[in-house]
Structure 1
């Protein structure tokens, strides 16, 4: 791995030591610099869960990705920097409180200072700082209050502001274990990722999300939504807000007149 190129993508200098403060800074910068996005499902691109393919996409092409991609590559970076980092599978809680399938999500656990820390840069809105898995009290974070609860079979449940997010396995898994579920997530008509289009990242004041032709900014808890009138405006939003230069636009589920992406001059976003 070209560590310096990856750190440059995050806007971070090479750290002096693999300590907790550095881990926290790396997580914050990764979330801010690399968006959570599912564009590949709507661009007809295969998702390849190999370190080389992920590095080419996220670092060289300056794209984002979803959990298997973002946490898979970030875990490799952390190991290259001297951290004891492993991937762990999770089942995501549905809105009705039931659990999704096994390996529905991939997160990172870092063993550091005789503690296990949950690090996740691939779940959309989630903790911006590492969470101590052995903590019995709620842990405050810029994106809410997190609580870790024991679950059956030695797993743990992660709650955000009292709402269950996912159930995390305690045993590590190689990245290759997630290949079948990643294929299902990006191809099945039943998958949330094929039924929605999103590109999102946190900001210093909230979050910015681009979903099709809707640009949504949350600033200090107040939501602002703007309709983007043309393909050129959408491409400009990807570049301005996410640092992504797209040669073609993803096709939203069901299609849209805006998918007729004829070259046009860049226009204002509002």
Structure 2
């Protein structure tokens, strides 16, 4: 990303260009991204191509004013962080389903970020309801965050288990990866009838007081722990809901595409589910 593209990205998330790639600046950028760029899977149901290159992802998030799922959001965020001076490593993770089983390889994309003041962080703006701020990569005790209590624990194989409020979220492989490595995982989640992304519509955004989510025609607002759900009855209402809270302008209401049933091996996990792993219900 060049200087002007970086400035455009920073304007997109309402953030200032950091004077240096510090821990404080990383925390500010992480929260700003979560509050400005929605987690959404609309491209899956709008027949839009998803190209895992930094240029394409930034063009979608910044130029098209859209969001995306984990590969897109963390892929674009990695480009921004690199452009402002951070050392960023892409990591592949497998998301745990409701029964505690990990999903397919490259199920999820997370980021390891090193800061100029010696910080080592696990950053993730693409997992729906998750930590508001990066997690300390080397910390093995509880980490308090507005999004819950998180813990990173080493597995017997040398990977890292990430849990939230005592529930396993995903397991991270520490080896560095390239963005192109996630192509198969993104393809599976875009096409498999066993992927939650092909079976549901979701658009979700962190707010200053909670979260707002449009799941199909259900608009759910959570404020201070109180949930309020409204069923939108007309297409015009749905399009307005995408436009106003999320800033997404659509020409048509997305519809869940029908998929062919399959018994092929695959992951039941849903990276970036806005409520919990293995589920596409938004909070």
Q: Does TM-score exceed 0.5, indicating one fold?
A: yes
1:95 aligned onto 2:91: no
Tell me whether 226-235 or 109-118 shows the greater mean CA deviation. 109-118
Counterpart position of 1:149: 153
What 5-or-longer segments of structure 2 have no aligned partner?
A: 260-283
C-alpha change, 1:31 and 1:151, in structure 2 (3 Å) is same
Aligned residues: 255
How far does the alpha carbon of each residue in 1:59-101 deviate from its partner, in whole angstroms, 9 at most, with x for none? 0010000000000110111011100111100000000011111
User: Residue 197 of structure 1 contacts residue 253 of structure 1 at CA under 8 Å; is this kept in 2?
Assistant: no
How far does the alpha carbon of each residue in 1:178-227 deviate from its partner, in whole angstroms, 9 at most, with x for none? 01111111111111100111000111111110011100111111111000
CA drift at 1:254:
5.4
1:249 aligned onto 2:261: no
Counterpart position of 1:32: 35
Counterpart position of 1:234: 238
Counterpart position of 1:14: 17
Please give the alpha-carbon distance, in whole angstroms, between the structure 2 residues aligned to 1:246 and 1:32: 20
DSSP 3-state at the match of 2:28: helix
CA drift at 1:153:
2.2
DSSP 3-state at the match of 1:154: coil
Counterpart position of 1:62: 65
1:206 aligned onto 2:207: no
Aligned pairs for 1:79-228 within 5 A:
79-112=82-115, 113-228=117-232
Please give the alpha-carbon distance, in whole angstroms, between the structure 2 residues aligned to 1:115 and 1:4: 24
Please give the alpha-carbon distance, in whole angstroms, between the structure 1 residues aligned to 2:162 and 2:208: 24
What 5-or-longer segments of structure 1 have no aligned partner?
A: 256-270
User: Residue 104 of structure 2 contacts residue 185 of structure 2 at CA under 8 Å; is this kept in 1?
Assistant: no
C-alpha change, 1:104 and 1:86, in structure 2 (3 Å) is same
Please give the alpha-carbon distance, in whole angstroms, between the structure 2 residues aligned to 1:100 and 1:153: 16
Please give the alpha-carbon distance, in whole angstroms, between the structure 1 residues aligned to 2:180 and 2:258: 31
Please give the alpha-carbon distance, in whole angstroms, between the structure 2 residues aligned to 1:119 and 1:127: 9
User: Residue 96 of structure 2 contacts residue 171 of structure 2 at CA under 8 Å; is this kept in 1?
Assistant: yes
